[in-house]
A and B are shown apart, each in its own frame.
Chain A
């Protein structure tokens, strides 16, 4: 078993309620849930890979494909929606040529929607990596992306 996954598993017990925390740790380290990792978790917790897929596909947080170098999250909470969050997402998808949950071919960006980032008073907001940008417009977003390579 590769060192990285061994280290993650070592931090957790073997009871089934450890599954989600383990998956979360794996995603932090690897960026997504890959097949070898899921196999290792399956052996460690003694639950089937199917069950793991069942749980992980239920939650929005987990992804099964490699993310881009920069993750863009467009907030589509209610406040952002009434202030044009949907339009931001549309034009972003159009500009990058991908859909929500996908990664650009050059692996530069991946795009996702989130239900709410909790910065409703500064809506619409977009999160790029760990930075949250407030009061976005379509044009500001286009300019902003130039800063991320």
Chain B
């Protein structure tokens, strides 16, 4: 313990120096999304600027602070000034920002987004007062974007591993009791009380017990776990130590998607640092507790997010679920008692242990304590990673935090492909496990996808069923055959060949799969269809009776047309058309041959973005013989 205390002291003084910096610091948000938006090029550009202008500064890569729509984000911290954040930075604005700070000695007020100081600073708003940030409560994400995820010292300086050290000083039973008192429920989606699972495992017989961190974030449209691991890997690893100690496990495994290379890299580095600091291995910090953590990369199968399938996959088998009981807490990995906790559940633990259960119960509402992270995406003005108290309404999330929708709001899908699609009347529903379930949806792992009138509801249901059908492992008949059947009916409807009887068939199939499927994947797979049938029945009927897709999404029901009066004859669309369907001499209205058109949207895009084009190409309901 002494050795670590010394390291913590030195980490703290290093941190103070960073906060009270003499040398300017440039922070670049370089999680996957920042990188996709060009963050690494900015890092190079900044270095070039410093070389050319004989300036020096420390450049630090940090994780994701949440508002993805502002990426890439660059923060500048000049000595004696608060850290100032700039959004959507490109090569040109970076030059302006650096010039302003380094050569003129002041922030670029026009481009600045917010600052991290406590007081007023040059009329720039506080970062946490920004409309997207203000309603949020950041517990799990407290360090994301603020500390360097590759430096254990920075984590230690912000009270990292303090929760674990507190746990070590009490008995495992006390740790379980604290988590019980805090009311923490599994953040992977089902919301099972964490302490209950732990107690079963703790009381199970067995020399060897395992703790698995489920980072197989397979929901399309969800990236909370990826962001957390990329931005604050030690928080999750500390949570693993706490959980491992509580249940009596000596081996921990992180099961993570191979599609997340950066997260894997950061985890590996963090595990190495833990070992160096004596936080892994035999008799950690002089206690009786020994723990090792290994990383297992998933190989791309959505069903492996299910506990028993995940275990199968780690054992080197096809990742197929088996029936329960026995539950993994009694007989799991290699037949030993095993606890599988979600990344976010683990990331929450250090906070609960550090601040106490009573503190945690101040957030959320009765039965649904604490906060939940969501990835808020789709047709929303301010997409990103957010964290809110349980019990916040969908309206607050979509409109206050997300800034609303550009076109009229249509629906929100919670819980990814296993969840449901909720219509406008549910906007005042509070986000908690029970309320969402009562509306036919689920909390799920935290993907929130917002849709506007340009999204076709039937197409969306088809999309989710296409996904679950492909990911169905094929073991049980209701899921294997049932999802295929639903998908075929939906394909029929989106082609304009559906009949009213199909809707009844969808209901019957959906209910049967829900009751009969072996695992969570199958049991929840019909949710998108059942909820859309319930809340958007009219849209199904329009497809069936009028052969009309009001969102102009379903390809067999739409056609592309050139409005002759608007066409400027600029030939931009002629150049991009891959099939030669559009023809016409310059300066004369063009022709579109519908028989050649593959509806690829190239011409439509060009016609909207090119300055000389006249928005002449439109997509509209096709005239179909009924």
Contacts and interface: CB of A to CB of B under 8 A. Distances in A.
A119 interface: yes
B578 A59 contact: no
A62 B223 contact: no
Contacts of B579: 94
A24 B297 contact: yes
B449 A79 contact: yes
Interface in B306-323: 313-320
Contacts of B488: none
Interface in A75-134: 76-84, 86-87, 90-91, 94-95, 114-123, 125, 130, 132-134
Interface stretch (B114-122, B351-359, B371-379, B431-439): B371-379
A24 B299 contact: yes
B44 to A, nearest CB: 15
A137 B610 CA distance: 13
A119 B32 contact: yes
B302 interface: yes
Given A20-B313, A76-B220, A115 B302 contact: yes
A132 B576 contact: no
Interface in B361-379: 375, 377-379
Contact of A139 (B69, B217, B258, B606): B606
A132 B32 contact: yes
B260 interface: yes
B460 A82 contact: yes
Interface in B564-611: 576, 578-579, 598-602, 605-606
A19 interface: yes
A114 B605 contact: no
Interface string A49-70: 0000011001111100000000
B300 interface: yes
A23 interface: yes
A40 interface: no
B212 interface: no
Contact of B600 (A18, A19, A94): A94
Given A116-B219, A116-B223, A58 B301 contact: yes
Contact of B300 (A59, A125, A130): A59
B299 A78 contact: no
A79 B221 contact: yes
Given A121-B33, A139-B602, A60 B314 contact: no
Contacts of A132: 32, 35-36
Contacts of B154: none
> Chain A, interface size: which category?
35 or more
Contact of B301 (A24, A59, A77, A84): A59
Interface residues of B, number: 66
A95 B460 CA distance: 25
Contact of A118 (B223, B258, B319, B473): B223
B252 interface: no
A17 B251 CA distance: 15
A78 B36 contact: no
A121 B69 contact: yes
Given A59-B300, A121-B384, A91 B316 contact: no
Given A78-B449, A119-B33, A24 B219 contact: no
Q: Which of A60, A83, A114 has the most CB of B within 10 A?
A: A60
Contacts of A115: 218, 220, 300, 302, 467, 471
Contact of A59 (B69, B219, B319): B319
Given A58-B318, A59-B319, A138 B605 contact: yes
A122 B316 CA distance: 35
B560 to A, nearest CB: 12
A16 interface: yes
A29 to B, nearest CB: 15
B460 A21 contact: no
A142 interface: yes
Given A116-B218, A116-B220, A122-B37, A95 B578 contact: yes
A59 to B, nearest CB: 4
Interface string B189-227: 000000000000000000000000000011111110011
B221 A122 contact: no
B15 interface: no
Contacts of B413: 78
B259 A118 contact: yes
A119 B259 CA distance: 11
Contacts of A15: 316
B85 to A, nearest CB: 17
A90 B598 contact: yes
A130 B318 CA distance: 27
A20 B36 contact: no
Contacts of B37: 122, 134
Given A20-B313, A116-B221, A125-B36, A60 B601 contact: no
A87 B601 contact: yes
Contact of B416 (A54, A60, A78): A78
B332 interface: no
Interface string B259-289: 1110000000000000000000000000000
Contacts of A55: 316-318
B174 to A, nearest CB: 34
A61 B319 CA distance: 13
Contacts of A116: 218-223, 259
B600 A123 contact: no
A21 B296 contact: yes
B359 to A, nearest CB: 31
Given A20-B299, A95-B578, A120 B375 contact: yes
Contact of B316 (A18, A118, A123): A18
A19 B299 CA distance: 11
Interface in B220-241: 220-223, 226-227
B383 interface: yes
B71 interface: yes
Contacts of B449: 78-79, 82
12 contacts: A20-B297, A20-B299, A79-B220, A82-B449, A87-B601, A115-B467, A116-B259, A120-B447, A121-B33, A121-B377, A138-B605, A139-B602
Given A119-B223, A130-B261, 18 more contacts: A55-B316, A58-B320, A61-B258, A78-B221, A87-B600, A91-B598, A116-B218, A116-B220, A116-B223, A117-B259, A118-B223, A120-B68, A120-B375, A120-B383, A121-B377, A134-B33, A138-B601, A138-B602
* For the complex of A and B, 4 pairs with smallest distance between CB atoms: A121-B68, A78-B221, A60-B300, A77-B220
